[in-house]
Amino acid sequence: MKKTLFIILFFGFFGWANAQEQYSFQFDSTSLEQVIITIENSSNLKFYYQSSWIDSLHYTGKFVDAELSQVVETVFENFDIYIYQDSNKVYLTKGTRIIDQPLISQRSDSENAKAGAKGLIFSQDYNEESNFDNDRIIEIGSRSKMSSSGYASLVGYVTDEKGEGIIGALVYTQEPVVAATTDINGFYSLQLPNGRHTIFIQHAGMEDTYRRVVLLSDGKLDIDLKQDVIALQELLVESERSANIRNIEMGVRKINVEDAKSVPIVLGERDVMKVATTVAGVQSLGEGAAGFNVRGGKSDQNLILFNGAPVYNASHFMGFFSVFNSDVIDDLEVFKSSIPARFGGRLSSVFDIAGKKADQDEFQASAGFSPVTSRISTEIPVIQGKAGLTLGGRTTYSNWILKQIKNATFRENRASFSDFVVQYDHQLDSTNSLTFSTYLSTDKLRLSSDSLLSFSDIRYRNTISSINWNRLISPNFVMDLNGYYSRYAYLLENDELELSAFKQDFSINDWGLNADFNYYGNGDKIYSFGVGSKSYLINPGSKTPVGENSQIIPVDLNKKRGRESFVYGGVEFDPKPNLKVSIAGRYVMYHAIGKQDVLLYDPLAPKNIGSVTDTLSFDQGKFIKTYHGPEYRMSLRYTLTANSSVKFSLNSNRQYLHTLSNSASLSPTDTWTLSDYHLKPQSAQQASLGFYTNLFGNQLEVSAESYYKRIRNLLDFKVGAEFLLNENVETVALQGPGKSYGFEFSLKKRAGKLNGWVNYTYSRSFIRLDGEYNEEIINRGEYYPTNYDKPHNINLIANYKLTKRISFSYNLNYSTGRPVTFPTAAYDFSGVEVLHYSDRNTFRIPDYLRMDIGINLDEGHRLKKFTHSYWSFSVYNLLGRDNPYSVFFDLRDGEVSGYKLVIFGSPVPTLSFNFRF
Amino acid sequence: MRSTLALYCLLFSLISCVKPFDFKTEDAAPIVVVEATITDELKTQEVHLSYSRSVNTDESNSITNANVFIESGAGDRFLFNETDSGYYSDIEFAAQVGETYKLFVNTNTTQYQSSWQAALEAPEIENVYLRYIERPSETLNRNEEGMQVFIDAEQSSTEFFRVTWDETYEIRVPFPSGLDYLGPGNWIAREEQVGTCYNSDHSKEIITGTSTSNTSARLIELPVRYISFETDMLRNKYSIEVTLYAIDRETHEFYKSLKEVNQSGGSLFDTQQGAVLGNVNAVGDESEIVLGYFEVASVKKKRVFFTWDELDVPASRPSYRYSCTANEIIDTTPDRIDGLMNSSRRLITVGTMPPTASIGPAECTDCTSFSSSQKPDFWQ
């Protein structure tokens, strides 16, 4: 049995070997450098650091007969300098303490120690070996200091060509498998058996490299990485390697922007959000559908955050593109079961998107062109090393294309979108940083309407601004303050008929303030707590006449207001070495706020306009209804072996915001509404259990998760419900219990020539509507599948790197067709043939199957080339399969014909050109 | 939303986005369908009772041996007698505006009752007019041109309406056949002309409207019928009679739901389909689904005529229904007629000095081959 040793870099742990001696020092505004020299002179400690970190720092303090460890600890806890000590060596690092990488297992047991001194050879042997860069054998430490334990520490910095530390680089040996990732300064530490090793270093965008060493005793090895000339193409080795095992959260998936590169692209746009929907448990609705369903949840149950601010419509072109330009996204985290307590307000998931922090030292730009869109983004250093500005923009030229199409009598049609991101990051000082970001996306559609009653113009826009202040109150106490404003609005306009010309609008405004605190306590305890409040202002719609002759009566629905406030607290700790527990509670208070006139209905009749008995008037600012309650978030992680763990989580959520939509997808004209006097909040409780293991030296991640979710007051609607300009939504809304359960299996290979992931999801989702009156009872009051119940789902994404310049990508997507209502009978009524439909959602549209391929070709391979560019060619829906998006029926002359709506029903090839400099 | 689709099809160069879809469904057990509209016209009122049919057949089963009557709020009872084509009132009567009515149907097994329905006053139709409109074609991958028929109604206290229409248009063939070919060597001059015919049709969709959304409290600019120039309907003379039904809010809701459930489709964002239930229920069994509606309405009608020349639109005149060029006419001599004639051809003319004859395809020479030459009484 071969034991695997894992040493993960961690700080704050002091194992002072010879700290019995007592020391006294007095410092009075002494420069930190002088402090270090003083300590070095009076002890056997040796400090390793970069002088630029400490040259401006001073320390005042007094020690009397203190232990050396205490002195060092006390001195440095005042600065954002972290210490790592290894016998008499003290390594200083600068930046945030890495706390999410606790020791998994440290089995320096005797058996392993005996197996140490691996391949130890005499110097004359290896001197004869080749002398080239990588192959040169580096002797570390000295034979005289060789430890009897058979182990030694290898530490050092991984830097780029300019000498700057690389964060998150993976430093590892294969035999035994020992791995570490570099911290914010590029610092790493490995505990290895003495002897000969090959140290491998990998990092995205850098050339893979290795060093051959002979480790004799503790020592230092700095490694500089060369930038990979085909960096755009480079496979990513993430710092999160093995994080899936160690992290306590389950149902979390971090989508790196780099991941998007391994997925064939659609219409020339890399799309991080689209990649996110290929994660196990997330189901997209197929092309043309905005929104997605997570673990049997409705599409409005997903919270999408951009730098902390909610995004209400995350898609352009009604779902063909996501609203985010992937070039200006740092990363995207998907939480689908153990949603951290700082998030709330949605039942199913959180998509947390972080905007790109600009490079503060060097100007960078990237751009891409395809037949449909073009995009550009730049990173501009504002203050060297302190502040940077990211600017990104994207637009379409589809209008131009529409005009070019010959024989097009659709010349009236227009469709275009654009989006812009500005993000400014400023490191005020060593403990304070400020981020300001703003985001704007606009879509404009003009359709020559088929029915004169349909809308001829649709415009919709997201406007989002946020400010984040991150403060290191003390080295182990972090505060995050976030303020935001988010608005989603659309405007419909029809001016084709002079007398009936009108405009109709809708908007949701949301602003809030959150304070989140993290305190890293003794041991491994992490305390998180915070408080926040958000306000909603919804204009459910107003209709105004357009032009002098229009006879449209203006309609202006009362604005809806609500406030959602919360406080939360939690702790994460390790009661046992292989057990980690996270417990958090959250209390949410929601007020529906006037001004509003609330209709009261006859309790003995279904709610509709005919059964109104009275009206309650609430003045401006008055509370109409208050809902409040606790939410809990609990997770457990138990490590079975160094490479596998079991996790369990239990959590609950409440949701006060709902979309009014009959369809499975999100439409730009769907309106959002708030819980109010009649509409109750939805709430969900979810239990999940998962097993995670990494095989072949973390090369292959395997996970299996299952979940069961119970939902209260899930929303569905009466047959043929109408929402636009409906002041009394309660007359068409139905609420009832729901349940979802499922199983997710996922395999992911991160590195190698062939990499990618495959997952299978089994997921069911049901709702029961059993009201008192016929129109409130659906399917006899039994549980029936929701519109988005798609039991089987398979996603496969694979990337094969043929040469350094050419790589292939492949994507396969399969899912069961979603439930629909089929006609089961026909009849004549008033000269019209009418279809009678089955119970709701008893049939399914045909299964969805799509295959895409992509080829990426890097242009140059020259080292000194100014720009890096690549061509990418992809074919979407290679099989040209007619995947129905929806089906509908037509009855003519006694015959029922079925039709299916197919989007991208044939292969769609796209060629795009991308570059960065 | 169909235009949205068309846009995407076009944008992404995909010709056809809506494709036929084969589906299998289970047939529901027959459901009772009640179809009864009582109007304020003094006439024999009708009630139709049937069972719903399977989606794959067009034979409907009427409900026989039912006992049908209507009661008014004033206590009058109108009895209905069964005939082959439905149940007809035994006397002529008109619904009175302001009065309420209730339908009773007793079958052998079950008793059905409607809710009380009131008759509302219908305003006069002020104007029926046509306007030139281009719109995306449902069948062709381009826009089509045509005329949209609108109506305006006079001001009234009624807010909810539904509309039906009956249209008739004149059809002409370019080469009218003057002779009836009876057999070899035997043709006679036609007694009735076959050059001009009249085709009639009635609305097959549900049209509803309200006056609640405009300041004049009138039903205005209600689109009733679109007539494409891709058809020959507007080539000659066209007439449409519009019937306006004044209905109450619940009836309007019913029709609107029926329309949405029945006619929506093909959009990216479809509506929830399901059973649309009316105002008739089985007594004592709330769970039994009863389809259809008992409607009481006052009605107003208006008929208008248009000729192509009166329309004055920026489009070329719609072509003949069938492509009929001079090439399709066979010029021959009388002795060859017998060899050339068959059932799909007509004899246009026969001349003796010099001996000539012309024969053409039926669709170019005889409109009775696809329509009727019977002139309607109202035709002006």
As a three-state string, the secondary structure of chain B is CHHHHHHHHHHCCCCCCEEECCCCCCCCCCCEEEEEEEECCCECCEEEEEECECCCCCCCEECCCCEEEEEECCCCEEEEEEECCEEEECCCECCCCCCEEEEEEECCCCEEEECCEECCCCCCEEEEEEEEEEEECCCCCCEEEEEEEEEEECCCCCCEEEEEEEEEEEEECCCCCCEEEEECCEEEECCCCCCEEEEEEECCCCEEEECCCECCCCCCCEEEEEEECCCCCCCCEEEEEEEEEEECHHHHHHHHHHHHHHHCCCCCCCCCCCCCCCCEEECCCCCCCEEEEEEEEEEEEEEEEEEHHHHCCCCCCCCCCCCCCHHHCEEECHHHHHHHCCCCEEEEEEECCCCEEEEEEHHHHCHHHCCECCCCCCCC
User: What three-state secondary structure class fits A31?
Assistant: strand
Which of B28, B133, B143 has its CB closest to that of A409?
Answer: B143
- Do A901 and B277 lie within an 8 Å CB cutoff? no
Label residues A394-429 b or e (16+ Cβ within 10 Å = b).
Answer: bebebeebbeeeeeebbebbbbbbbbbbbbbbbbee
Predicted confidence band of residue A558 (pLDDT cuts 50, 70, 90): confident
Q: Indicate whether B178 pLDDT > 50.
A: yes
Work out the widest C-alpha separation in chain A, in whole angstroms: 104
pLDDT at position A244 is 61
pLDDT at position A97 is 41
Q: Indicate whether B374 pLDDT > 60.
A: yes
Predicted confidence band of residue A2 (pLDDT cuts 50, 70, 90): very low
Read off the pLDDT of residues A499-537 as tens digits, 9 standing for 90 and up. Answer: 778 888 999 999 999 999 998 887 778 899 999 999 999
Q: Indicate whether B329 pLDDT > 90.
A: no
Predicted confidence band of residue A114 (pLDDT cuts 50, 70, 90): very low
Mean pLDDT in residue range A408-434: 79
Mean pLDDT in residue range A793-813: 86
**Top-confidence range, A403-407, A609-613, A662-666, A864-868:** A609-613
Residue A666: closest C-alpha in chain B: B269
- Cα B377 to chain centroid distance, Å, stands at 19
pLDDT at position B137 is 66
Predicted confidence band of residue A268 (pLDDT cuts 50, 70, 90): low
Q: Indicate whether A561 pLDDT > 90.
A: yes
Partners of A875 in the β-ladder: A853, A909
CB B296 within 8 A of CB B114: no
Predicted confidence band of residue A407 (pLDDT cuts 50, 70, 90): very low
pLDDT at position A126 is 40
Q: Indicate whether A270 pLDDT > 60.
A: yes
Predicted confidence band of residue A488 (pLDDT cuts 50, 70, 90): very high
Name the more confident of A329 and A656: A656
CB A630 within 8 A of CB A586: yes
- Do B221 and A499 lie within an 8 Å CB cutoff? yes
Mean pLDDT in residue range A431-455: 73
User: What three-state secondary structure class fits A230?
Assistant: coil
Residue B165: closest C-alpha in chain A: A831
Q: Indicate whether B69 pLDDT > 90.
A: yes
**Top-confidence range, A200-209, A266-275, B303-312:** B303-312
- The span from the CA of B183 to the CA of A803, in Å, is 83
Read off the pLDDT of residues A703-739 as tens digits, 9 standing for 90 and up. Answer: 999 999 999 999 888 877 777 788 888 888 899 999 9
d(CA B47, nearest CA chain A) in Å = 11
- The span from the CA of B238 to the CA of B305, in Å, is 6
pLDDT at position A149 is 66
CB pairs under 8 A between A and B: 259
Label residues A112-124 b or e (16+ Cβ within 10 Å = b).
Answer: beeebbbebeeee
Predicted confidence band of residue B114 (pLDDT cuts 50, 70, 90): very high
- The span from the CA of A721 to the CA of A719, in Å, is 6
Mean pLDDT in residue range A545-562: 85
Q: Indicate whether B298 pLDDT > 80.
A: yes
Which of B28, B215, B250 has its CB closest to that of A824?
Answer: B28
Burial of B3 (0-12, 13-18, 19+ CB in 10 A): buried
Which of B7, B18, B269 has its CB closest to that of A667?
Answer: B269
Mean pLDDT in residue range A145-161: 76
Partners of A585 in the β-ladder: A569, A632
Best residue of A400, A409, A839 to probe chain B, by most B CBs closer than 10 Å:
A409
d(CA A847, nearest CA chain B) in Å = 13
Mean pLDDT in residue range A687-707: 87
pLDDT at position A588 is 95
**Using alpha carbons only, how large is chain A's radius of gyration in Å?**
30
Residues of A in contact with B7 (CB under 8 A): 410, 413, 415, 445, 447
**Top-confidence range, A595-609, B51-65, B164-178, B315-329:** B164-178
Name the more confident of A451 and B90: B90
pLDDT at position A264 is 60
- Do A669 and B25 lie within an 8 Å CB cutoff? no
Q: Indicate whether A239 pLDDT > 60.
A: no
Residue B30: closest C-alpha in chain A: A825
The two three-digit tokens of residue A182, written as one number: 């570099």
Name the more confident of A106 and B106: B106
Q: What is the average pLDDT score of chain A?
A: 78
ipTM score of the complex? 0.82
Residue A910: closest C-alpha in chain B: B12
Predicted confidence band of residue A607 (pLDDT cuts 50, 70, 90): confident
Q: Which of A90-99, A220-229, A476-485, A814-823 has the lowest mean pLDDT?
A: A90-99
Is B279 part of any domain?
Answer: yes
- The span from the CA of A629 to the CA of A736, in Å, is 19
pLDDT at position A62 is 83
Show the CA angle centred on residue A839, arms to residues A671 and A710, nearest 5°. Answer: 60
Is B349 part of any domain?
Answer: no
- The span from the CA of A384 to the CA of A466, in Å, is 24
Burial of A838 (0-12, 13-18, 19+ CB in 10 A): buried
Predicted confidence band of residue A205 (pLDDT cuts 50, 70, 90): low
Q: Which domains does chain A have, with CATH numbers?
A: 22-223 (2.60.40.1120), 246-916 (2.40.170.20)
Predicted confidence band of residue B227 (pLDDT cuts 50, 70, 90): very high
pLDDT at position A721 is 75
- The span from the CA of A289 to the CA of A903, in Å, is 10
**Top-confidence range, A12-16, A627-631, A873-877, A911-915:** A627-631
Is B355 part of any domain?
Answer: no
Query: Residue B230's closest CA among B150, B306, B321, B141?
Result: B321
Predicted confidence band of residue A324 (pLDDT cuts 50, 70, 90): confident
Show the CA angle centred on residue A639, arms to residues A637 and A643, nearest 5°. Answer: 125
> What is the helix (H) or strand (E) element at residue B226, kind and residue range?
strand B222-228
- Scanning A617-676 for CB atoms below 8 A from B yields 661-663, 665, 667, 669-670
The two three-digit tokens of residue B300, written as one number: 């107003």
User: Quick check: bond before A545 cis, omega within 30?
Assistant: no
Q: Which residue range(s) make up the domain with B42? A: 29-122+247-298
Residue A875, sorted as left (phi over 0), alpha (psi -120 to 50) or beta, turns out to be beta
Q: Considering its fold, how many domains does chain B have in total?
A: 1
Q: Indicate whether B115 pLDDT > 70.
A: yes
Is B318 part of any domain?
Answer: no
> Which value, to the nearest 10 degrees, does the dihedral of the CA atoms of residues B182, B183, B186, B188 take?
10
HEC assignment per residue over A547-582: CCCCCECCEECCCEEEEEEEEEEEEEEEEECCEEEE
Is B90 part of any domain?
Answer: yes
The two three-digit tokens of residue B294, written as one number: 């008992």
- Scanning A666-695 for CB atoms below 8 A from B yields 667, 669-670
Is B254 part of any domain?
Answer: yes
Q: Running DSSP on this structure, what letter comes out for residue B116? A: P
pLDDT at position A404 is 53
d(CA B242, nearest CA chain A) in Å = 14
Is B284 part of any domain?
Answer: yes
Mean pLDDT in residue range A846-857: 86
Is B48 part of any domain?
Answer: yes
The two three-digit tokens of residue B319, written as one number: 């072509």
Residues of A in contact with B26 (CB under 8 A): 824, 838
CB B147 within 8 A of CB B313: yes
pLDDT at position A685 is 93
HEC assignment per residue over A387-439: EEEEEEEEEECHHHHHHHCCCCCCCCCEEEEEEEEEEEEEECCCCEEEEEEEE
**Top-confidence range, A162-176, A239-253, A873-887, B93-107:** B93-107
> Which value, to the nearest 10 degrees, does the dihedral of the CA atoms of residues A757, A371, A906, A874 take?
-30
| Helix residue ranges per DSSP H, A156-267 | 243-246
CB B348 within 8 A of CB B360: yes
Tell me whether B115 touches chain A (CB under 8 Å): no
pLDDT at position B102 is 95
Name the more confident of B269 and A906: A906
Query: Residue A901's closest CA among B226, B17, B44?
Result: B17
- Do B276 and A413 lie within an 8 Å CB cutoff? no
Query: Residue B16's closest CA among A72, A904, A315, A200?
Result: A904
User: A256: how many CB neighbours lie within 10 A of its CB?
Assistant: 19
CB A513 within 8 A of CB A549: no
pLDDT at position A533 is 95
Name the more confident of A61 and A320: A61
Q: Indicate whether A441 pLDDT > 60.
A: yes
> What is the helix (H) or strand (E) element at residue A838, kind and residue range?
none
> What is the helix (H) or strand (E) element at residue A43, kind and residue range?
none
Predicted confidence band of residue A170 (pLDDT cuts 50, 70, 90): confident
- Do B265 and A890 lie within an 8 Å CB cutoff? yes
Residues of B in contact with A841 (CB under 8 A): none
Q: Indicate whether A229 pLDDT > 50.
A: no
The two three-digit tokens of residue A345, written as one number: 């307000």
- Scanning B248-277 for CB atoms below 8 A from A yields 249-250, 256-258, 260-262, 264-277
Name the more confident of A590 and A800: A590
Read off the pLDDT of residues A340-374 as tens digits, 9 standing for 90 and up. Answer: 899 989 998 998 988 888 888 888 888 888 777 88
Predicted confidence band of residue B266 (pLDDT cuts 50, 70, 90): very low
Tell me whether B127 touches chain A (CB under 8 Å): no
First to last CA, chain B: 40
Q: Indicate whether A13 pLDDT > 60.
A: no
Q: Which of A33-42, B43-52, B258-267 has the lowest mean pLDDT?
A: B258-267
Cβ neighbors of A195 (< 8 A, separation 6 or more) are A116, A117, A118, A119, A120, A214, A215
pLDDT at position B7 is 40
Name the more confident of A496 and A413: A496
- Do B293 and A829 lie within an 8 Å CB cutoff? yes
Tell me whether A844 touches chain B (CB under 8 Å): no
Read off the pLDDT of residues A275-284 as tens digits, 9 standing for 90 and up. Answer: 777 788 888 7
pLDDT at position A251 is 60
- Do B214 and A552 lie within an 8 Å CB cutoff? yes
Mean pLDDT in residue range A383-399: 85
Tell me whether A330 touches chain B (CB under 8 Å): no
Residues of B in contact with A398 (CB under 8 A): 11
